[in-house]
C-alpha cells in the first residue's frame, strides 16, 4: 500500500508541477518521506532519515522537505516540533493535495500540516494511472473499521471506505489497454469492499472479482490483504468459478490460540480460520496459503505459542510473515500487562520463522520438475540473457529467454529451487507459441 501511495505522490507532482523522480537526494528540489507506523521499528527510522536531509537543506534552503504516511498521520505537527526544518506534514488520505501544500510551503514561511481524512476525495483527484510493465496495483478500498486491539491502522488511515465499482473497473480497463495483464487489488481489508453501483445497489468483493475478470486482457488477479472475519463463502466460490484468480491466498491469522485471538479482537476463532483454509483447499487443490503472525502478544503463554506452531502444521503455509508484537500508542493492547520477556519472544519468533522457512523451501522444492505459468516481467537484472517473471504463488523465476517475452504468459519447467528464486527453462509449446505470434 505504501509503495502504491509513493507512486501516487510522484504522479500528482508530475501532473501539477512537471516534476521528475530522482533517487539522488542531493539533486532533489522536493524531498518526500513516506512513512509506516505499523510497528515501532518503522517509526524510529523516520527521524534518522530526515536528519540526513537536514544537511541538504542547510546547503540549499529552498529545498522543501515533506513527511507523509501513517507516522505523519499519527504525530502531526509534533514532527515539526522535533524537526523544525520539515516544511510539509501530510497523511495517507491527503497525498493528492501535495501540489497545493507544496505551493503553500514555497510561498509562505509557515509550516504546513494536513492530516485530515477527506473520504473519497483522494481517489477522485488522482491522475490517470500509467502502466509500468504487465502488473499493476489498483486500490479498491482504504482504511479499516475492525479495530483489532494491537493495530494502529484505523487511527492513521481512517475507517473503511470503498471506491465506486465503476471507478475501479474504469481504472483497470485503462491499465489493460496499456498492456497490464495482472491486477493486484489493494486495500487494508479488501473483502470489506462495498462499492456503490450505478443502480444504487452495492457490490461486495466477490461481485467485484467477477467484474474485474470480465475486463479484456486481465488474465491474473491477486488481492492484498483480506481478513478472515469477512471471508465469505461467495469469495470461496469465486475461486471455484474464476480461474484467473491466482492459486494463492494470503490470509493473516496472527495467532493459533483462541484466547489470544479474542484478546486481539480478531472476530474469528482458530477453528473458523481452519474451516476457511480447508474450504479453499477443497475448491483449489494445491493452493499456496500464506499468513502473517504476531508473536508475544501481551500475556502470550508457552502453550498459546505452541497452539500457533500446531496451526502452521495443520494448514501447511507457504511464504509467510511473522513479527514480534509492538505496542502502538493509542491502541487498547498497549494498556495490557505483559509478563513475557523480550528474550522469550525472540526465541519464539526464531522457532516459528525457522519452521515457516522450511515449509517455504519444501514448496519450492516440490515445484522442481513441474511446469508453471509465468508472467514475464522483463530482462533479469543479473543476467541480460535471461528474463524474469513470477509464478501464481508469487515466486520469482529466471530463465533464458528473449526480452520480447515481457508482458506475456509462458510455460516454464522449473529446474532448480534456490532460497529466494527458482530457475527454469521455457517449454517447447511456449517457444512455438512465441514464434507463431
Ligand atoms: N489488515 C490485515 C493486516 C495488515 S498489517 C489484517 O488485519 O490481517 C500487516 C501485518 O502487520 C499484520 O497482519 C500483523 O501481523 C502485523 N502487525 C500489525 N500491527 C502490529 C503490531 N502492533 N505489532 C506487530 N505486528 C503488527
Query: Ligand 1 centroid to 153 CA: how many Å?
Result: 9
What are the angstrom distances between the C-alpha of 67 and each of 51, 53, 71, 98? 12, 12, 8, 11
Nearest of 210, 220, 185, 213 to residue 377 by alpha carbon: 220
Looking at residue 104, its pLDDT comes to: 95
Contact by Cβ (8 Å): 288, 363 = yes
Q: Ligand 1 in contact with 291 (CB < 6 A)?
A: no
pLDDT string in tens for the chain (437-residue length): 899 999 999 999 999 999 999 999 999 999 999 999 999 888 778 988 999 999 999 999 999 999 999 999 999 989 999 999 999 999 999 999 999 999 999 998 788 999 998 876 888 888 888 899 999 999 999 999 999 999 999 999 999 999 999 999 999 999 999 999 999 999 999 999 999 998 889 999 999 999 999 999 999 999 999 999 999 999 999 999 999 999 999 999 999 999 999 999 999 999 999 999 999 999 999 999 999 999 999 999 999 999 999 999 999 999 999 999 999 999 999 999 998 999 999 999 999 999 999 999 999 999 999 999 999 999 999 999 999 999 999 999 999 999 999 999 999 999 999 999 999 999 977 776 666 65
Looking at residue 436, its pLDDT comes to: 62
Q: Where are the alpha helices (DSSP H) in 255-341?
A: 258-264, 270-283, 302-315
Contact by Cβ (8 Å): 320, 293 = yes
What are the angstrom distances between the C-alpha of 184 and each of 132, 136, 369, 395? 14, 6, 28, 15
Spatial distance between the Cα atoms of 132 and 306, rounded to a whole number of angstroms:
44
Pocket test for ligand 1, best of 1, 4, 74, 150 (most atoms within 8 A of CB): 150
Spatial distance between the Cα atoms of 206 and 223, rounded to a whole number of angstroms:
12
Query: Ligand 1 centroid to 208 CA: how many Å?
Result: 25
Helix, strand counts (H, E) of the chain? 15, 20
Query: Ligand 1 centroid to 216 CA: how many Å?
Result: 34
Instruction: Indicate yes or no: pTM above 0.85.
Output: yes
Looking at residue 432, its pLDDT comes to: 66
Quick one: CA dihedral 312, 370, 222, 238, positive or negative?
negative
Query: Ligand 1 centroid to 330 CA: how many Å?
Result: 15
- The string over 30-55, giving b where at least 16 C-beta atoms fall within 10 Å of a residue's C-beta and e elsewhere, is bbbbbbbbbbeebbeebeeebeebee
Amino acid at each position: 500500500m505504501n509503495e502504491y501511495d509513493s507512486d501516487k505522490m510522484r504522479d500528482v507532482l508530475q501532473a501539477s508541477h512537471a516534476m521528475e523522480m530522482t533517487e539522488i537526494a542531493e539533486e532533489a528540489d522536493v524531498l518526500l518521506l513516506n512513512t509506516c507506523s505499523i510497528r515501532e521499528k518503522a517509526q524510529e527510522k523516520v527521524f534518522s532519515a530526515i536528519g540526513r536531509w537536514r544537511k541538504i537543506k542547510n546547503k540549499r534552503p529552498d529545498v522543501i522537505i515533506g513527511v507523509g504516511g501513517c507516522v505523519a498521520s499519527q504525530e502531526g505537527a509534533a514532527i515539526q516540533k522535533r524537526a523544525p526544518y520539515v516544511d510539509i506534514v501530510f497523511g495517507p488520505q491527503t497525498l493528492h493535495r501535495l501540489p497545493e501544500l507544496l505551493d503553500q510551503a514555497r510561498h509562505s514561511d509557515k509550516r504546513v500540516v494536513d492530516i485530515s481524512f477527506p473520504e473519497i476525495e483522494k481517489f477522485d483527484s488522482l491522475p490517470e494511472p500509467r502502466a509500468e510493465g504487465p502488473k499493476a496495483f489498483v486500490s479498491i478500498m482504504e482504511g479499516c473499521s475492525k479495530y483489532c486491539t494491537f493495530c494502529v491502522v484505523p487511527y492513521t488511515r481512517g475507517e473503511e471506505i470503498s471506491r465506486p465499482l465503476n471507478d475501479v473497473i474504469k481504472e483497470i480497463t485503462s491499465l489493460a489497454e496499456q498492456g497490464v495483464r495482472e491486477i493486484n487489488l489493494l486495500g487494508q481489508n479488501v473483502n470489506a469492499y462495498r462499492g456503490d453501483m450505478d443502480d444504487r445497489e452495492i457490490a461486495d468483493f466477490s461481485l467485484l472479482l467477477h467484474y474485474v475478470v470480465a475486463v479484456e486482457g486481465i488474465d491474473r488477479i491477486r488481492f492484498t490483504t483480506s481478513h478472515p472475519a469477512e471471508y465469505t463463502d461467495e469469495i470461496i466460490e469465486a475461486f471455484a468459478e474464476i480461474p484467473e484468480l491466482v492459486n494463492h491466498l494470503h490470509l493473516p491469522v496472527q495467532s493459533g490460540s483462541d484466547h489470544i485471538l479474542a484478546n486481539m479482537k480478531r472476530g474469528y476463532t482458530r477453528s473458523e480460520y481452519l474451516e476457511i483454509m480447508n474450504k479453499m483447499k477443497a475448491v483449489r487443490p494445491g493452493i499456496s496459503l500464506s499468513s502473517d503472525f504476531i508473536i508475544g502478544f501481551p500475556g502470550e503463554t508457552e502453550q498459546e505459542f505452541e497452539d500457533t506452531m500446531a496451526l502452521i502444521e495443520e494448514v501447511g503455509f507457504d511464504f509467510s510473515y511473522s513479527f514480534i508484537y509492538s505496542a502502538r500508542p493509542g491502541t487498547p493492547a498497549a494498556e495490557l500487562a505483559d509478563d513475557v520477556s523480550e528474550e522469550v519472544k525472540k526465541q519464539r519468533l526464531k522457532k516459528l520463522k525457522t519452521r515457516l522457512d522450511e515449509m517455504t523451501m519444501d514448496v519450492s522444492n516440490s515445484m522442481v520438475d513441474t511446469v508453471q505459468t509465468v508472467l514475464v516481467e522483463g530482462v533479469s537484472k543479473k543476467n541480460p540473457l535471461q528474463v524474469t517473471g513470477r509464478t501464481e504463488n508469487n515466486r520469482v523465476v529466471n530463465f533464458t529467454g528473449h526480452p520480447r517475452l515481457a508482458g506475456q504468459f509462458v510455460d516454464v519447467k522449473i529446474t532448480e529451487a534456490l532460497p529466494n528464486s527458482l530457475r527454469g527453462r521455457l517449454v517447447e509449446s511456449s517457444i512455438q507459441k512465441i514464434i507463431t505470434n
